[in-house]
Amino acid sequence: EAQVTQNPRYLITVTGKKLTVTCSQNMNHEYMSWYRQDPGLGLRQIYYSMNVEVTDKGDVPEGYKVSRKEKRNFPLILESPSPNQTSLYFCASSPILGSAGTDTQYFGPGTRLTVL
Amino acid sequence: KNQVEQSPQSLIILEGKNCTLQCNYTVSPFSNLRWYKQDTGRGPVSLTIMTFSENTKSNGRYTATLDADTKQSSLHITASQLSDSASYICVVSPFGNAGNMLTFGGGTRLMVKP
């Protein structure tokens, strides 16, 4: 089954404790992206990757890091989480140039992060 | 700054009724416009994708329309079902967008009541 998986689905942590949210897709997609969703603000792009070892900033990259060492995985790293990073996070993938073309973008189930 | 505005913010309708959701955008020029359905606590799922040259696209009981001149799109849901209760998100991609940046609307939360 074609899917995007994220782990963990729920996470409560404390300020400053480094964490990683994993994202994996089994569709051999080249494009992957991370979003955060906050009430009243909609989805906002954090980082995206066009292919292995190619990443770039989205709208709200501050406080986040990503890596793309393999095509299927795109982890989101919070080196020193802060309470304003409490949010619902989604990973997504699509074939080449997902948004510039008309390829469907597939979203993961989401990770709800709370930073105390 | 590119913006996507959706209305209404929320809507309650009775099962079996039709409804129309609106999306206005300022992204110009744009490459394509998408509508997503997002169930509570789950990731968005694509409903329709329209390029700037298309003015209508259907997916079952969902029909999206696009007026590129007025920069407006609508999503019409026919014969609503309880399972249509969800948030509907309009997403616009700028033309020539090498960065794959998508601009998301805030969504319309639809509740279908029996």
B102 touches chain A (CB under 8 A): yes
B79 touches chain A (CB under 8 A): no
What is the 3-class SS of chain B, one letter each residue?
A: CCCEEEECCEEEEECCCCEEEEEEECCCCEEEEEEEEECCCCCCEEEEEEECCCCEEEECCEEEEEECCCCEEEEEECCCCHHHCEEEEEEEEECCCCCCCCEECCCEEEEEEC
B21-69 per-position pLDDT tens digit: 999 999 777 788 999 999 988 899 999 999 888 899 999 999 999 998 8
Q: How confident is the model at residue B16 (pLDDT cuts 50, 70, 90)?
A: very high
The Cα A77–Cα A13 span in angstroms is: 13
A7 touches chain B (CB under 8 A): no
A14-40 per-position pLDDT tens digit: 999 999 999 999 999 988 999 999 987
Provide the shortest C-alpha distance from residue B75 to chain A (in Å).
18
Is B101's CB within 8 Å of A31's CB? Answer: no
The Cα A112–Cα B48 span in angstroms is: 27
Are β-strands A76-78 and A65-66 bridged in parallel, bridged antiparallel, or unpaired? antiparallel
- Cβ contacts of A56 on chain B, cutoff 8 Å: 99
Asked if pLDDT for residue B7 goes beyond 90, the answer is yes
Instruction: Give the pLDDT score at B10.
Output: 96
Instruction: Give the pLDDT score at A99.
Output: 47
B65-82 per-position pLDDT tens digit: 999 889 999 999 999 999
A44-79 per-position pLDDT tens digit: 999 999 889 999 998 899 999 999 999 999 999 999
Q: Looking at per-residue confidence, does A42 or A45 come out higher?
A: A45
